[in-house]
Amino acid sequence: MGVTVTTWIMSLLNALGLFYWSHANHPVFIFTCDFALVMLGYGVLRFYWLGREWARWLVMLTCLLCFWNVKGLGLTKVSPVVKPTIVIEAILAVYLLYFLNTRLVRQWFNQSDRESTPNHL
């Protein structure tokens, strides 16, 4: 899987983040915060897709947060969409941490920072 495919997968998983608020104590506040984070995530994904090195690092940092989310699998008051999403995110995080640290991908991101229109992997 290349940058374009992983961007699409992360975009879908990012949208599923809007389901996290459904059993919250203050659903309007949590939904508003989740919505803002999802929009911020789409901004990062745009620059990731364009090949910006800083976005690559943010995606790798987010992968570490996906492992933190695994602890939430034992909670009973979560939306039915959340548990499979957490598992899929953790699996994707393992792949991304490998993929984004391969020599070819690191070179592509470094080269893309210098070019205005990168060729996608």
- Spatial distance between the Cα atoms of 112 and 50, rounded to a whole number of angstroms: 7
Per-residue model confidence as pLDDT tens digits over 89-99: 999 999 999 99
Q: What tokens appear for 20 in the block?
A: 């996290």
**Pair 64, 70: CB distance under 8 Å:** no
Residue 90 CB neighbour total at 10 angstroms: 16
Q: What is the pLDDT averaged over residues 42-62?
A: 94
According to the model, what pLDDT value does residue 78 have?
66
E strand or H helix that includes residue 63: helix 53-69
Residue 59 confidence (pLDDT) above 90: yes
Q: What is the pLDDT averaged over residues 87-110?
A: 94
Band (40; pLDDT cuts 50, 70, 90): very high
Supply the pTM of this predicted model. 0.81
Per-residue model confidence as pLDDT tens digits over 7-26: 999 999 888 877 766 566 77
Residue 118 confidence (pLDDT) above 80: no
According to the model, what pLDDT value does residue 31 have?
81
Name the percent of the chain lying above pLDDT 90.
49
Residue 85 confidence (pLDDT) above 90: no
